[in-house]
Chains A and B, each alone.
Chain A
Amino acid sequence: MILYLMCFALFLVGLYGLLTKRDLIKIILSSAIMGYSTNLFLVLFGYRRDATYAILTPNNSGQAMVDPLPQALVLTSIVIELGITALLVALAIRLYQKYGTFDITKMRSLKG
């Protein structure tokens, strides 16, 4: 319960940064924080007490294993997050070259 709440608090910290920061770099970092907290929450949800990792080895045959399904889905989610971060960074660099700043309140003109 307290772990879930701390994860949710981490998500809200990311959301706060996304809503209030002016710097594009901080906004990218905020989206990364939200991604971390979501991934961690899903894996927390699949943990089983006193269970081993979901890989069959001679050491842990017959023991209880943690839920492998959230782990498999989070594996894809982490990789997608890397792609999204790279895309956001590329867009930020492009905006910097156009406007000479990372401040989103100064990016007002729509001229080419």
Chain B
Amino acid sequence: MPIESWLIYTLGIMLLGSIVALEIRDILSAIIAIGIVGLAVSAAFLFLQAPDLAIVQFLFEIFALVILVRAFIGKKAHADTLSIHKVYAFLVALALVAFFFLFTPVFRSLPPFGEPLLTTSSHYLTHGPQETGAANIVASIVLDYRAYDTMGEVTVLFTAILGALTVLRMSRQTQKGREPK
């Protein structure tokens, strides 16, 4: 079986899973459906010869599932109806379908699947092992050629986690403040 068929199959599962996750009423089922989508992404990365990405995506998915389940299970007050208005939702769907057909020519102008441009990357592939001494070329790009990018990424991650902790700690303090009343 060629790789395209596997990837089309995986992407079909992802489309199905995401539609189920958005339309189902039960929150636990929606979170599980999102987990299926994420694990399908991990499998697609394996098909696309990206083992490090598959591992990172797998870990991300498990963490995200744990966070979502821990945060949202047992809270009953979900929205009564899922969408805002039937007419509004229909109009948005129509506009997005129009978007899809409008942007189809853009994808035709991209290089076809299986033949990447490889302009900067050919230098990394040919000179990377000699210049950095790393056998894993992805790691040599992340930690050597584009180390400043990685530092910025760590800063963004730190800021996001700091924000999450600040918001949660604030709520704990207000809870304590309310208890004596």
Contact = CB atoms under 8 A, between A and B. Distances in A.
Q: Does A associate with B in a complex?
A: yes
A96 B74 CA distance: 12
Nearest to B160: A83
Interface residues of B, number: 95
B49 A22 contact: no
Interface string B36-78: 0110010011001111110011001001100110011001011
Interface string A44-81: 11111101111111000000011111011111101111
- Chain A at the B interface: SS class: helix
A103 B82 CA distance: 9
Given A6-B15, A78-B53, A86 B160 contact: yes
A9 B15 contact: yes
A21 B22 contact: yes
A51 B163 CA distance: 41
Interface string A77-112: 011111111110111111011001111110000000
B1 to A, nearest CB: 14
Nearest to B85: A20
A15 B96 contact: yes
B79 A23 contact: yes
Contacts of B27: 25
A25 to B, nearest CB: 5
Contacts of B135: 55-57
Contacts of A12: 96, 99-100
B130 to A, nearest CB: 11
Contacts of B141: 68-69, 72
A30 B22 contact: yes
Contact of A97 (B30, B113, B137, B171): B171
Contacts of A80: 153, 156-157, 160
Contact of A29 (B34, B67, B92, B165): B34
Q: Considering residues B96, B120, B121, B125, which has the most beta carbons from chain A within 10 angstroms of its beta carbon? A: B121
A19 B90 CA distance: 11
Contacts of A23: 78-79, 82
15 contacts: A3-B7, A3-B11, A8-B100, A8-B107, A19-B92, A22-B79, A29-B31, A36-B37, A39-B41, A54-B136, A54-B137, A56-B137, A76-B153, A79-B56, A92-B71
Given A39-B41, A44-B7, A94-B167, 11 more contacts: A6-B11, A9-B15, A22-B82, A43-B53, A44-B113, A48-B118, A56-B136, A68-B128, A75-B142, A92-B72, A93-B171
